[in-house]
Amino acid sequence: MSRYYTFTAKDAVEYARQFGGVADPQSLVTADEIGDGNLNLVFKIRDTAGISRVIVKQALPYVRCVGESWPLTLDRARIEAETLIIHGQYCPQHTVTVLHHDAELAVMVQEDLSDHHIWRSELVQGKYYPEACAQLGEYLAQTLFHTSDFFQNAQTKKAEVSRFTNPELCQITEDLFFTDPYVDHERNNFDAILQPEVDALRADKPLRLAVAALKHRFLSKAEALLHGDIHSGSIFVAEGKLKAIDAEFGYYGPVGFDPGSAMGNLLLNYCGLPGLVGVREAADGREQRLKDVRELWLSFSERFLQLARDKSQDPTLAEPGYAEAFLQEVWHDAVGYCGAELIRRTIGLAHVADLDTIKEAAMRADCQRHALSLGQKLILTAQQIGDVESLIARIRQFS
């Protein structure tokens, strides 16, 4: 018989007292439910002084914004906790700390990050964190290298692929990234003014073929343990600090997916800036986003190559030049997944504040058109874009 029950605020406080690891557990007295996502309850647990001390997160057995008509497995909470624990082993400085988790209750206790801010909100407000992209590149390199065939024993990795099989959450990604935007689906969400662009996108046969290839690689390439949903809303930043959170989409997939998703979110902000801030500030911000894309990729790829040179365990994969060749494939994948992120966040189910909070309707539509067009062109030309400098040149050309 299952022990699962849905937590109330009182339950979350009691759980934090037991498993939060605070020196004075009875000082924990209140909980605020702050979850703004679609999948979980998230409680800030506060002490008698009103200070948030730990976070209690519990998975719901359905998609929150839809209800019980869209059920989901609770095993995703185990996958999220164990993904974060493994990522934390290899990159503790940039992974939220899991203090405790219980698979049956689908609950975990995490460190409190109240001194951090959600990166997307900061980007939308035009705030810049100069170390964030290098830190994110470090996180991606450490986590993806150490869970790949370069480092993991082949037998261990095969067992880990099985352990992190995540079919229901992967199905969401497969649908929202690669299927829904390219058909007339009830989950899609866009202003009617974009209908001509959406119709043209769906009628673009070369685009649909390229998206099919991206989806097939997502389905079949078990290359490393991905975060699986690494966007600017699943990253906390502070001065000199960055932490990845929300890894319930974790699974073994193509290495290019995580950096591609991250770059896509930087470019969503790039597309939205003209509608979010003043003309001069937007121009400066867009230049900074292009520098951020460069910094992210170079930080990731250079660290990955260094790790491959220093720590590769498989003697065949350690052959000089192979890691460079592998990363070139990863790069092409990343550019394609970046384009898919731009499209799905514009006309699919899950939108972003970088575009949706633009107040003036005509400007919002122009920024959304730009995101769609840029995403389409990046997917179509991904195999011809050889490096990050060429990507930035293409973005300038497409803008």
Write out the binding residues for ATP. 40, 57, 111-113, 246-248
- Helix 195-202 and helix 322-347, axial crossing angle in degrees, nearest 10: 140
CB contact at 8 A, 353 and 120: yes
Instruction: Give the max Cα distance, the chain.
Output: 62
* Tokens (6 digits) for 317: 């994969």
Select from 161, 166, 300 the least CA-distant residue to 223: 161
Query: Binding site: what residues are annotated?
Result: 40, 57, 111-113, 229, 246-248, 344
Long-range contacts, stretch 287-290, CB < 8 angstroms, 24+ apart: 288/128, 290/392, 290/395, 290/396
Task: Return binding residues for substrate.
Answer: 229, 344
Find the radius of gyration of the CA atoms of the chain.
21
